Amino acid sequence: MTCEPLPPDVLAALQEGSPERITCHAEPIRGSSGAATATLTRLTVQTHHKTLVRKELHPIRTGRHAPFATDPRHWAYWRREPLAYASGLLPTGPGLTTPHCYATVDNVLYLEDVQGKPEAPATAAARLAVWQAATPLPDVPWLGGHQLPQRLRATTWTPVDADPRIERLWRQRDDLLARLAGLPTVLSHGDFSAGNILATPTGATVLLDWATLSAGPVGADLAALALSTFTDPLDAYLAGTDRFARADVELGYRATLALTGAGRVHWMLSRGMPVPDGYEEFILSRRP
């Protein structure tokens, strides 16, 4: 379908001419997206064969995290991603990088349409380490706090047919969260999972979806990568930098994986969804 006229800021960033000379086609992008994402649309500017992604944002309106959608320190804060793109804090390569942001207009982001395949987990982990080691925590009011305790505070364990050892992990959450609170804090992507990490033909690793940018314990981002790939990225991360002690990274990774994994098992079973084969054993084999 034909898309609505592109905003002047986007036309200027694309180095296009008069809006009257622009032909643009819009195609909805289906699939999962961030909690604050209202719509994703691929825009093809046919006059110059350019494509970009229009990402419209809105606050979460339902569910257990909806009351926090306007809290800048909560992971669900709906305005964080535009602020992150404007901040200059996001990685710019040559290894880890982000989609180019052409413009932000009100609650809509216009982003580079990145083409690529899933990045190798070891490469992604090593490049994450380089970026986190080189990037100090910024003093900005919209940076999210530690995401895991925010999520766990809104979760109640109800009876489900899980491996009893998974529930025991959940019962250890206060102790594990206390141990995580004692670790070095780094700038954390917050959803460092396989679907958000692309390898491009140029050799760059492009990291998508910055809505949950936060301050988190070192090693915590590796949990999402491990759970989404069934691989162990710890050694690759440690090979990327010697700034952090192995014991700290390993604790951040294993404790976050244990609690995140246990919570996801409960979430799946409580909704009648099957747990993937080997998922529980993967979590248990890496518990701290």
Angle at 93 between CA 87 and CA 99, to 5 degrees: 60
**How much is the pLDDT for 13?**
80
**C-alpha–C-alpha distance, residues 25 and 44, integer Å:** 5
Examine residue 257 and state whether it is found in any structural domain, yes or no.
Answer: yes
Written as one string, the DSSP assignment of 257-279 is HHHHHHHHHHHHHHTTPPPPTTH
Residue 16 has pLDDT above 70, yes or no: no
Examine residue 139 and state whether it is found in any structural domain, yes or no.
Answer: yes
**How much is the pLDDT for 14?**
77
**How much is the pLDDT for 18?**
55
Examine residue 230 and state whether it is found in any structural domain, yes or no.
Answer: yes
Residue 7 has pLDDT above 90, yes or no: no
Examine residue 21 and state whether it is found in any structural domain, yes or no.
Answer: no
Q: Would you place residue 12 in the very low, low, confident or very high pLDDT band (cuts 50, 70, 90)?
A: confident
In the block, tokens 């404790």 appear at 255
Examine residue 108 and state whether it is found in any structural domain, yes or no.
Answer: no
Examine residue 14 and state whether it is found in any structural domain, yes or no.
Answer: no
Mean confidence (pLDDT) of the chain: 93
**C-alpha–C-alpha distance, residues 142 and 150, integer Å:** 15
Tens-place pLDDT, residues 206-262: 999 999 999 999 999 999 999 999 999 999 999 999 999 999 999 999 999 999 999
**How much is the pLDDT for 30?**
86
In this structure, the chain runs to a length of 288
**C-alpha–C-alpha distance, residues 285 and 287, integer Å:** 6
Residue 74 belongs to what domain range? 69-98+115-285
Helix (H, G, I), strand (E, B) or coil at 11: helix
Q: Which two tokens stand for residue 265?
A: 């098992």
Question: Domain of 270: which CATH number?
Answer: 3.90.1200
Examine residue 226 and state whether it is found in any structural domain, yes or no.
Answer: yes
Tens-place pLDDT, residues 52-98: 999 999 999 999 999 999 999 999 999 999 999 999 999 999 999 99
The enclosing H or E element of 238 equals: helix 234-240
The four Cα atoms 88, 93, 98, 104 give a dihedral, to 10 degrees, of 40
> Number of structural domains, the chain?
1
